[in-house]
Amino acid sequence: MILMALMTVFTLQAQEPQNEFTIDAKINTRGEVRVGGFDPEEEASGKTPKALFVMGQYRLNVGYKRADWFEVRLSPQFSGIWGQSGGNLSLAEGWFSMRHQKTGLFAKIGRQTLEYDDERILGYDDWTMTAPTHDVLKFGYEGHGHKVHGLLAYNQNSDNVSSGTSYYAGGIQPYKTMQALWYHYETPKSLFGISLIGMNVGMQSQKTDKPDTTFYQQLVGSYLFFKPSIVSLEGAFYYQLGKEEHGIPLDAYMGSAKLKITPNDKYNLYVGYDYLSGDKFFAVPAEGTIGMIYHDKIRGFCPIFGSHHDFYGAMDFFYVESYVGGFTPGLQNLYTGGSVRPVKGLNINAAYHFFAIATNHDYLKKPLGHEIEFSLDYSFGRFVKVGAGYSYMRGTETMEILQRVSRNRQLHWGWIMISVTPTLFTTGWDDKKRP
C-alpha cells in the first residue's frame, strides 16, 4: 500500500506542467450616493449637498509561470466614472519574479502591489479603483519562519528626462525615491508573529528657493500579533523623522491595538484604538507666513502608503480626504464591531467609530463625531460577489470646522458593488525533450 501511494505521488508530480499560462479578468462596478457634507456654499444657498455616481474598474490579467522559479504578470486596467470623458487607462501591474527554491532567495522587478502586515503602512487599497501600485525592485529571503524583504524605488517624470532628477506630483506614488527593509518572523501555525520595518522616503522639495532639492523622511516601527486561541491580539507602533517636502523637520508617531474574539468561523467581535499624533497649529513653511505660526517641527503623522479605507472609517474622511488647508491635528479612533456568516457565502458586518483629534486647542474641542457602518457581501459561486453598505456620521462643531461638512453635521453614504473575477483561459505544457 505504501509503495502504491508513493508511486501515485511521483506520477502526479511528473504530470504537473513545467509551464502555465493564465488569462483572467476583474470587473468592479460600484454605485455610491452621499447626502450632506463637503460643500458649504451649496448648503448656504438652501440646498443639501448630494452626490450620486457609478464608477468602474476593468482589468485583464495575463500571467506565465515556469515551474516554481520564474513568473511574469501583466495587468492593463481602465478605471473611471460612468459617462466620464477619458478615464484612467494604465498598467496596474507589470512585473517578473525569480526565486531560488533551495536558498529561499528571490527578486521581483516592476510595477507591483506592496502588502505588508495589516497594510496600515504599506497596503493595497483597491477600494479606490485606481490600483495604488509601485514601480519597485523587491528582493530578499523567505524560509524557516523568517522573511527579509528589501525595497528600492526611484521615480521620474517623463517630461524631466533631460532636465535633472525632479519628480513632482502626478505619478502613481507621491514619493521620488524609497528604500525599505522589512523583517518578519512567525511561529508554526501562526501562533505569534512580529515584523520590523525601516523606510527612507525622498520627497521632491516644495520650497520655492530650493525646487531641485530632495528632502528625506524616515519611518521605523513594528507590528506584532498573538493568536493563542479564539482570542487574538495585534498592535503596532511607528515613528516618523527626517524632513517633509517643505524642509520642516518631522517628529510624529502612531500606535494601534486591537482585540478580536473568534469563537468559530460563523462570527467574530473586535475592539480597537488608533492614535496618530498631530500638530497644534497649521503647518506653514517659512515663506508666506504672515499672521501664521511658523513650525519648527511637524508632529502630524502621515501614513501615505497605507490602506486608509480599512482603518479610519468607511466614509474616508481621514488620510484620504485632508483637513482644511492641510491642517494635521492628528486622530484618535476608538472602534468596535463584528461580523456574522449566517449562511454559506453571506457575510454581514457592523462597526462603530468614535473620532477625535489628538492635540489640544484653545478654539477646538477634541471630539470629531460618531460613525456607524453596516455592510454585507454575498458570493455567487467562485467568480461573482455582490456587496452593499451604508454609513452614517454625526459630526461635531470641530468636524464642521476642519472638514467643512454640513452645518447640520449629519452625513449619509451608501454603496452597492458587484465584482466579477472569472478565469478566461488557462493551459499548461511541458518542455520538449531534447533528442
Domain 21-429 has CATH 2.60.120.10: no
Residues 125/131, Cβ–Cβ less than 8 Å: no
Residues 215/203, Cβ–Cβ less than 8 Å: yes
Q: What is the pLDDT along the chain (435 residues), one digit of tens a residue?
A: 444 444 444 444 445 789 999 999 999 999 999 887 655 455 445 566 688 999 999 999 999 999 889 999 999 999 999 998 888 889 999 999 999 989 999 999 999 999 999 999 998 888 887 778 999 999 999 999 999 999 999 998 876 666 667 787 667 788 899 999 999 999 988 899 999 999 999 998 887 777 788 999 999 999 999 999 899 999 999 999 999 888 889 999 999 999 999 999 899 999 999 999 998 875 544 444 444 555 678 898 988 788 888 899 988 888 876 666 567 889 999 999 999 999 999 999 999 999 999 998 877 889 999 999 999 999 998 899 999 999 999 988 888 878 766 656 788 999 999 999 999 999 999 987 443
DSSP states along 252-271: EEEEEEEEEEEEETTEEEEE
pLDDT number for residue 326: 63
- Burial readout 407-433 (b: 16 or more C-beta within 10 A, e: otherwise): eebbbebbbebebeeeeeeeeeeeeee
What cell was used for 206? 516644495
CB atoms within 10 A of CB 122: 24
Any idea where the domains of the chain sit in the sequence?
21-429
Strand partners, 258: 234, 272
CB atoms within 10 A of CB 187: 12
CA 246 to the chain's CA centroid: 25
Among 88, 68, 69, residue whose Cα is nearest residue 78: 88
3-state secondary structure 304-352: CCCCHHHCCCCCCCCCCCCCHHHCCCCEEEEEEEEEECCCCCEEEEEEE
Which amino acid, 249?
P
- Cβ within 8 Å of residue 46, ≥6 positions away: none
Helices (H) and strands (E) in the chain, counts: 3, 19
Residues 273/86, Cβ–Cβ less than 8 Å: no
Identify the DSSP state of 213: -
Identify the DSSP state of 249: B
- Cβ within 8 Å of residue 41, ≥6 positions away: none
Residues 197/220, Cβ–Cβ less than 8 Å: yes
What cell was used for 353? 467609530
pLDDT number for residue 286: 43
pLDDT number for residue 402: 80
pLDDT number for residue 293: 57
pLDDT number for residue 29: 97
Identify each DSSP E strand in 122-244 by its residue range: 134-143, 146-154, 177-186, 192-204, 214-226, 231-242
- Burial readout 354-375 (b: 16 or more C-beta within 10 A, e: otherwise): ebbbbbeeeebebbbbebebbb
pLDDT number for residue 340: 97
